[in-house]
Amino acid sequence: MSLININNNSFTVNLYVDGLPVVLSQQRLKQRLRDSRIIRRERLEVEAALASREGSDFLTLADHEDDKPLLLRFTPQGDKYVIQTILKGDYDQGYLAISQSARHVFVGDIAQGSQFTLVKHDVENARFSDLDKGPCHVALAAKGRNAIYLASENGRRYFKDVDPNMSQHDAFNNTPVTFILKVIDRPEEG
């Protein structure tokens, strides 16, 4: 992938699912450590996950509605977007990518970054101008074709670009996740 040109068409957003902010696992784990009711076993599990890149680099949902959401920068690249994280620390300016093995949405470097399309109602490749003035419903698709799903495994929630239906039976197919997109910083007009 070529170097990303962050231009005046970029915009920053927060995403929510079912009222919960989308966050980086690292954010959720750090918040969990602040809980005064956490027991030693849980604390050790959280500390081990924070020490592991695989335990802290994927997108998930916050535990509480009032937790701080992850700030994401959408930069147009043709009819798709490259999405960067804006977060103090190791993952600042990281790129959303799809893990080739587990198919999870995680934060990687520019070489790993994936392109995403915004889908709003019947607009497959939504542009910023297609978004409502206030918060609006959107879906994301990786590489323009693979819808993003919310999966849950062993109490861990994460996003992936394949249906998490492990049974392979059509009756248990999931629907792609619908996000609430809230624009924080609009593109420059000019």
Q: Are 9 and 75 in contact (CB under 8 A)?
A: yes
pLDDT at site 112: 79
Catalogue the E-assigned strands of the chain: 11-17, 20-24, 59-61, 71-77, 80-86, 95-98, 105-108, 115-119, 136-142, 146-147, 149-153, 156-160, 179-185
What value, to the nearest 5°, has the Cα angle with vertex 108 and ends 97 and 188?
A: 75
Instruction: Name every residue whose Cβ is closer than 8 Å to that of residue 71 and which is 6 or more positions away in sequence.
Output: 12, 13, 14, 85, 86, 87, 184
The 10s digit of each residue's pLDDT in 143-165 is: 877 899 999 988 789 999 998 88
Cβ neighbours of residue 7 closer than 8 Å, sequence gap 6 or more = 75, 76
What's the pLDDT score for residue 156?
85
* pLDDT tens-digit readout, 109-148: 877 789 999 999 878 899 999 988 889 999 999 987 789 9
Please give the backbone phi and psi of residue 30, each rounded to the nearest 5 degrees, phi first.
-65, -40
Q: Collect all residues with Cβ–Cβ distance below 8 Å to 29 and sequence separation of at least 6.
A: 46, 49, 50, 55, 56
Q: Report how far Cα 34 is from the mean position of its chain's Cα atoms.
A: 23
What distances in angstroms separate CA 68 from CA 33, 143, 151, one per listed residue? 15, 28, 21
Fold entry, domain 11-185:
Trefoil (Acidic Fibroblast Growth Factor, subunit A) (2.80.10)
Predicted TM-score (pTM) of the model is 0.89
**Stretch 7-29: mean pLDDT, rounded?**
93
pLDDT of residue 169: 74
